[in-house]
A and B are shown apart, each in its own frame.
Chain A
Amino acid sequence: MQFLLAVEGAVAQGLLWAILALGSYITFRLLNFTDMTVDGSFTTGACVTAICIANGIPPIIALLISFVAGGLAGGITGFLHNKLEIPEVLAGILTQISLYSINLRILGRANQQLLQYDTIFKQVQRLFASIGLELSSDRIAIVIGLFFVILVILVLYWFFGTEIGSMIRATGNNEAMVRALGQNTEHTKFIALIIANSCIAIAGSLVGMYQGAADVGMGAGAIVIGLASIVIGEVILRRVVAFGSKMIAVVVGSVIYRIIVALVLQLGLSTNDLKLITALIVALALFLPNAVSKHNAKKARELAAKESQNA
C-alpha cells in the first residue's frame, strides 16, 4: 500500500518533470545541441513563479511569466553561442552559472515557501472538490501534469511541422545544408533554445508549486534527469520513429525514472544518494543498448563462422 502511494507520487513527479525532459529533447536530440542551461532555467522557472505568487500575482500568470523568463535564459545561451562564438557547452554553462546569481536576486534569498499561498494545484483541487471529487494532492498533480504534457506535446508537434520548425530539425541533421538552402542557422538555434528553455521553465514553475517551495539549489542535476528520461524512453520504446511517439517515449521515460527512484528509496537508500543513482541509471541506459548490439554482432559472427565451417 505504501509503495502504491509512492508510485502515485512518482507518476505525478514524472509527468511534471517530463516537460523538462521534452525541453531537453528539443536541444539534445532535435537540434543536436548540448544545452547546459537546463539547471538554471528550471530553477528560474520555479523562482519567478514563487516570487510572483508571494507578491499576489495569480498562479497562472506567474506560470506564464516563468515561461517567458525561461525563454530569455535560452536566448542568452543562443546569443553567447551565435554572436560571441562561444562553444555550445560552455555557452550553456555560462548562462547556467550566471542564473544561479540571478535566481538569488529574483528570490531575494535562498528559498521561498509557498505553503500559505494559492497555487494552480490548490485551485484545481478546490475545483474538483466543488464538483464532489476529493482528490489527493498527488492525483491532482497527475491531472495537471497530464494536461500540461499533452498541451506541450501538441504545441511542439505543430511547431516542428511548420516551415521554421522543419528547418530547426534539419539544422540538427546538417547545418551546411540548411545554410545552402537559404536559412540562417543562427536563427534556428536561437529559436530552438528559447522554446526548449521555455518548456523547462514551465516544468520548474509546476514542480515549485507542487513542492510548495522554490529553492535556488533545486535545479542541480536537472539536466541529467532530463537526459535520463530521454535515454530510458529511447531504450524502452526503441522502435518508434514518428516524432509524436518519440515525445511520448520521453514522457514514459520520465515516469519510469521516477518509479525507479521510488523503488530505490523504498529499498532504504536516502535521498542524498539520488544524484549518484541518477548518474548510474543514465550510464546504464546508455551502456545497455551498445552492449546488446555488440553481443548480437558477436553472435552473428559466430553463427557465420559456424556456417562457413559446415560449408
Chain B
Amino acid sequence: MLKIENLTKTFDPGTVNEKRVIDQLNLQISQGDFITVIGGNGAGKSTMLNLICGVYPADGGKIILAGSEIQDMPEHKRAKDLGRVFQDPLMGTAANMQLDENLALAFRRGKRRGLNWGILEEEREIYQKRLARLGLGLENRLSDKIGLLSGGQRQAVTLLMATLNTPKLLLLDEHTAALDPNTAEIVLDLTDQIIVEQNLTALMVTHNMQAAIDHGNRLIMMDEGKIIYDVRGAEKRNLKVEDLLRLFQELSAGGGPSDTMLG
C-alpha cells in the first residue's frame, strides 16, 4: 500500500540549527494496517506524516503509494489519496464557513472543482446521515458556522471530512492531543469505528502510549528519524506501557530519560 524507502529530511541545513529529522527511514504498510506511531519529541513522527503529504519536500528517498511514486508531487495532488487530521482542531476546518459547506469541500477532495454549485441538496442528506453516526448531535447543525463548534466536535468533523471520500491512507497527527481526556476517548472510538467500517489503512501518531497499544494492529516506535521498534498482532496487544518505556530506554540512541516519551 505505502512504501517508504531511504527517506531523508534535514531542517535548516548548513546552519547551527541543522537537524536531521528523518534519517534513511524505511517503512512498508500493507492494505488495512492501522499503525500507531510513538516516540519522543523531535523523533520525526509528524515530519514523516508531513513528508508523506508533501507539506514540504523530502531531501532524498522514495514514497510509493499504491504503486506510484509520489515524493515529487505537489501537496494538493497527493491529497487525492490521503485523508488528514491535524493536531490543532482549528487546522482541519474553515471556521467562517458552515458545517455543510466544510463537508462539501471535503466531499470534492481529489475531484476537479469547477463552476458547479458548491453544495447540492442531495449531499446534505448524506452529510446528515454521516454526522448522525458520530453521535454528537451535529446532524441538526448543518448551517452553523464551524467556528461555533467545540474543539472535540471540530476534530470529529475533520475526521469525517478526511474519510468522506474514502482515502487510500488516513494520516492522524496526534489528533486527540489537544482535547480533554473524555473527548479524546470519544474521538478515538470514532476513529476506530470509521477505520473498521471503511476498512481504511491508517497511520496514527500519538503521545498516549496506552492508546497506541489499545488501537490498531501494529505499533512503531521512532527515534532520531528512524524506526527503532516495530511490533504487530498478539505481541502488540500484550504490550504494557512499562514495556514500551523500557524498550524505549534500551533502543533509543541517547538511551535518554523515558519521560520524554510522555511529553
Chain A positions near chain B (C-beta within 8 angstroms): 159, 161-167, 169-170, 172-174, 176-185, 241
Contact = CB atoms under 8 A, between A and B. Distances in A.
Contacts of A185: 76
A167 B84 CA distance: 17
Contacts, number: 84
Interface residues of B, dominant DSSP: loop
B53 interface: yes
Interface of B: 53, 55, 74-77, 79-80, 82, 84, 86, 90-97, 101-102, 104-106, 108-111, 113-119, 145, 161
Nearest to A32: B96
A164 B112 CA distance: 9
B91 A179 contact: no
A178 B84 CA distance: 11
B97 A164 contact: no
A176 B91 contact: yes
A184 B113 CA distance: 11
Q: Which of A162, A169, A182, A185 has the most CB of B within 10 A?
A: A182
Contacts of A163: 108, 113-118
Contact of A179 (B79, B111, B115, B118): B79
Contact of A181 (B86, B96, B105, B115): B105
B105 A167 contact: yes
Nearest to B171: A180
24 contacts: A162-B115, A162-B116, A162-B117, A163-B108, A163-B115, A164-B115, A166-B105, A166-B119, A167-B105, A167-B113, A172-B96, A176-B55, A176-B91, A177-B91, A177-B92, A177-B93, A180-B53, A181-B79, A181-B108, A181-B109, A182-B76, A182-B110, A183-B113, A241-B145
Nearest to A159: B115
B43 to A, nearest CB: 22
